[in-house]
Amino acid sequence: MKKRVLGKAGLEVSALGLGCMGMSWAYGAAGDRNEMIALLRSAVELGVTFFDTAEVYGPRTNEELVGEALAPLRDKVVIATKFGFKLDPQGGASPVGVDSRPGHIKEVAEAALKRLRTDHIDLFYQHRVDPAVPIEDVAGAVGELVRAGKVKHFGLSEASAATIRRAHAVHPVTAVQSEYSLWSREPEAEVLPALEELGIGFVPYSPLGRGFLTGAFSADTKFADDDFRKRNPRFQAEALQNNVALVDALKNIARQKGATSGQLALAWLLAQKPWIVPIPGTRKRTRLEENVGAAELALTAADLKMIETAIGTHTIQGQRYDERGLTMVNL
């Protein structure tokens, strides 16, 4: 697989990474551990070198899974993980707030190193901005971890352009991660221009719209009680019925390219900027292979115009998060 570079510090990764969250969290019961380990190692065989996890995915268990799977391949991969959420002291699966106090950041880093079975974290993101802690203090704390050799690169997730600038002024930000896809294009207004100006890479999560852009869902789809999408506004029956029209339009374009709608969605992201690296997630080898194939799908100017026209004729219904989730983005 072709490589791309995130940030001016030159963090080189595969053009497509692998988001690992869904292997153990958010989308129903966790996948079989042995199968997930095999899948992670298969990704490396297919050319994926960039893996994304977080303390809160599980919680903690996703980092342990990624650590076990990739320990034998550590010198071939780049591992990103995250800090910044406050976990439920009673052991609940959902975070109970945010916490980016410098002392807490360092505690999370030490614990993550053990779970990941490594001596350094390649990319350490603040998972969500903490309004109670100045971003300058956060950047300073991660900078200390970098100088200690425990972290290689600093990242932010779902941060506003203004916050990114303030953090970058204290310690270089290598990458910013936010939701970005054919049905979530908010970063285009302010974040992407700021990243281009500052020389910061961009890592879109949910690049397939939490599976929606693959065409896997219909208005009749039912989600399990422990599936995040059951409560997500865009996946409610009425919204789904409206939004499916977009996928139908993408399928028609993809068919002309000999591709799937999911591959088209990923190729569209790759065509936006050379410093964009999407991280689609999956639990299936067939989907992994399909996603990897998107890196070889070249889109012409005419293709991109056709996609833009299709998007412009279909209004997406529903917020990308519920109200609680929206309070923690773009701060």
Active site (catalytic) residues: 57
Question: HEC string of 168-227?
Answer: HHHCCEEEEEEECECCECHHHCCHHHHHHHHCCEEEEECCCCCCHHHCCCCCCCCCCCCE
Cβ atoms 188, 20 nearer than 8 A: no
Q: Is 211 left (phi over 0), alpha (psi -120 to 50) or beta?
A: left
Q: From the CA atom positions of the chain, what is the Rg in Å?
A: 19
* Spatial separation of the C-alpha atoms in residues 167 and 190, rounded to whole Å: 16
Q: Return phi, psi of residue 300, to 5°.
A: -85, 170
d(CA 67, CA 40): 10
Distance, in Å, from the CA atom of 250 to the CA atom of 8, rounded to the nearest integer, reads: 34
* 8 A C-beta contact, residue 148 and residue 110: no
CA torsion 237→240→245→246, rounded to 10°? 170
Dihedrals φ, ψ of 6, to 5°? -100, 120
